[in-house]
Structure 1
Amino acid sequence: MASTMLRSRILSIASRTNKPNRRFFCSNKESTISSQSITSDQSAAAGEAPAQAVGGSENKAWNFFMYGIAGALTGATAFAGYASYAYSLDEVEEKTKALRESVNYTAGNDASNVEKYQGLLYSTAMTVPAKAVELYLDMRRLLEEHVKGFTEPASEKLLPDLHPAEQHVFTLVLDLNETIIYSDWKRDRGWRTFKRPGVDDFLQHVGRFYEIVVYSDQLSMYVDPVVERLDTNHFIRYRLSRSATKYQDGKHYRDLSKLNRDPGKILYVSGHAFENSLQPENSVPIKAFKTDEMGEVPLDTALLDLIPFLEYVARNSPSDIRKVLASYERKDVGKEFLERSKDYQRRMQEQRQQGRIWHR
């Protein structure tokens, strides 16, 4: 019994003495865990920091690479645009000839190995810019050929060869709108086309002496039906429409040099002769034909006034009509010719009256 009580006291004393130690170990364990967690967090943060630094450097390198490509493309585009604006295709080919030939550079047989290696590096380095220039030239050549189909006349010879028996015949080129006809559009009635007074007699008379050609900047779908109704007797041999004009500075010009005729035997009659022809020296200006505000055709004799001059040219056949037209100094040729004829006849009459000229 005594031993049992002694044993219980010893256990109680031991338990009291061990409680502080248990609390001590528990606190140490908690502090150890806390310190371990802090240490692990710090080590993780230290590990993430280099990873973030590496990722940031990679992003900077990639952004630098992309900006470099964008800058190179922008610079190349700007240079190509400037070259297209400032230089013709032949000039660009001439200026880049050395660059394009640098790809084929090779050192001589007597060159050293170092020089041969340097030549190989040089030709390799010049491959990319040379190929870029070749691509630019091919694209520009293709684009200019495509644009040329819209800006240049459809053919270098717009008219067939003149018959050998008609080599002496002059070619009379007539503009269509505001020259021999006038087209007007109004909302209440649509399109109406008016013939110029005297156009039928004009065509019938000069058609005996001239090769007559209508040259318009309108589409053929407009020109053909109008000429068919206008010229029922077929005095007009050929019709040239917009596809035969030269498009330049936003306007369609008549290019008389493409007619396949002697330039010294071409007369271009138009109400806007000097504005829409590339050869003003061949131009015969007349008053532009239009209807009045009420849509009525005014009295007009411009075509009929031109007949005496055209008949004079056809009968006398000057070697170069351009010199004859230059003497009129861009005046109304029909009226000026009539005035000169009257003056000439008056002077001849005066000389006859004075006995200077004998006549039967």
Structure 2
Amino acid sequence: MSRVAGSRLLPRISALSFCTASPATAAASSSSSTAAVAAAAATASEASSTAGDPSSQPPQTARKPWGALKFAAFAAVSTAVGGTGYVSYAYSLEEVDQMTRELRKKSKQPIPEDASGFERFQAMAYSAAMKVPVAAIEVYMDVRSQIEDQIRRERGWRTFKRPGVDAFLEHLGRFYEIVVYSDQLSMYVDPVVDRLDPKGNIRHRLSRVATKYENGKHYRDLSKLNRNPAQVLYISAHAKESSLQPENSVEIKPWKLENDDTQLLDLIPFLEYVAMARPSDIRAVLASYQSGDIAAEFIERSKEHQRRMQEQKKSGRIWRR
């Protein structure tokens, strides 16, 4: 392990995500993307400056002989490792419940059997018109109640870390050049990464200024990383749909604050194997995994390989006898 670490392997991995979650906006953020509730699963925003962002690209590294593997594993700051939330609200959850209770109750009132045709039509029209607003209120209250289990007014900003993220970053930082690539503003990305990675395992941070805007969406463009695309891994819960190079993507399950989540830890064996094996083109390796769950399929392949090795050893012993 130490020998590999000493060979200056440079894979870059950023499987981070975060969110700037306010109880007042939590419902919209959660329903629109898993990145709204937690980062390693989350969202933020970002402003591109005309002068450019100093963190927009990792520095160009000197070319070294192929004695040292140079892999880049990048994961977007979208649904992978952590989240940030700031609590700021005008009303408590109980007050919101009281203020909307009558509205929610009226939308569900049954139509009297003796109502006239016009009254029935009026009641049905009112019920249909209120269905979406009432559903939005209920979703908001449900999401906010979950968020407030984790956040309290006196805590202010808080970073939510996906289970295993500390071990993930610290262990793989020895093999990879870890980079966070977000479609959000650097003013949000920087403080979140500072809280998420106090030990400095994340080498670089790319924000919205480094993305490519197409059809109303900011895409991660791995060609802007100044790295060989054959040696880049892009890890995210929505990797294939958020990158212009889906062939470099490793998708993982979005994190929704589950305490028993093991996605990051499950992925470590595969990433460590890649760093040790040094394939010439990681894209060919990723293309060989068809199940969509690379971590699980890698474990199954490893078990199958071990089984075959055991059978070969047994057959070899029989032959020698």
TM-score bracket for this pair, using the shorter chain length: 0.5 to 0.7
Equivalent positions of 1:79-94 (< 5 A) are none
- Paired AA for residue 253 in structure 1: Y
d(CA) in 2 for partners of 1:356, 1:248: 62
Equivalent-residue separation in structure 2 for 1:234 and 1:318 (angstroms)? 27
Cα offsets for 1:142-193 (capped at 9, x unmatched):
xxxxxxx899x979x8221113348632111122231111345775557653
Would you say 1:260 and 2:260 are equivalent positions?
A: no
| Cα pair 2:78 2:238 within 8 Å, conserved | no
- Structure 1 residue 205: Cα displacement: 0.7
Question: What residue number does 1:159 align with?
Answer: 58
CA distance in 1, matches of 2:307, 2:210: 45
Matches within 5 A, 1:107-186: 158-165=57-64, 168-183=69-84
Gaps in structure 2 of 5+ consecutive residues: 1-47, 93-151
Letter in 1 for 2:59: P
Equivalent residue in structure 1 for 2:166, among 177, 181, 200: 200
Residue of 283, 299, 303 corresponding to 1:342? 303
Scaled by the length of structure 1, the TM-score of the pair is 0.52
Deviation at 1:290, TM superposition (A): 1.4
Deviating beyond 6 angstroms after TM superposition, the runs of 4 or more aligned structure 1 residues are: 356-359
- Measured against aligned partners, the alpha-carbon deviations of 1:202-256 in whole angstroms (never above 9, x if no partner) come to 1111101111100011111111011111111111110011111111111111000
Q: Matches of 2:287 and 2:205 in 1, distance apart? A: 27
2:253 is aligned with 1:308: no
Query: What is the RMSD of the two structures over their aligned residues, measured on CA atoms?
Result: 2.8
What secondary structure is seen at the aligned counterpart in 1 of 2:191?
A: helix
**CA, structure 1 residues 338+244, in 2 after alignment: closer, same or farther (shift >3 Å)?**
same
Cα distance change, pair 220–150 in 1 and its aligned pair in 2 (3 A):
closer
> Which range moved further: 271-280 or 329-338?
329-338
Give the superposition deviation at 1:351: 2.4
Distance 2:188 2:239 in 1: 21
Task: Structure 1 unaligned segments of length 5 or more: list them.
Answer: 1-148, 292-296
Contact residue 273 and residue 283 of structure 1 kept, 8 A: yes
2:237 to 259, 271, 274: 271
1:337–1:163: structure 2 CA closer, same or farther, 3 Å change rule? same
Is contact 1:351–1:357 with CA below 8 Å preserved after alignment?
A: no
Count residues with an aligned counterpart. Answer: 204
Q: Deviations over 1:70-125 (max 9, x none)?
A: xxxxxxxxxxxxxxxxxxxxxxxxxxxxxxxxxxxxxxxxxxxxxxxxxxxxxxxx
CA–CA separation in structure 2 for the residues paired with 1:154 and 1:248? 20
Q: What is the CA-CA distance between 1:344 and the residue it aligns to?
A: 1.0
- Residues 169, 209 of structure 1: 8 Å contact kept: no
> CA 1:255/1:207 → structure 2, altered by over 3 Å: closer, same or farther?
same
Normalising to structure 2: TM-score of the pair?
0.58
Higher gyration radius (CA): 1
Q: Percent identity?
A: 60
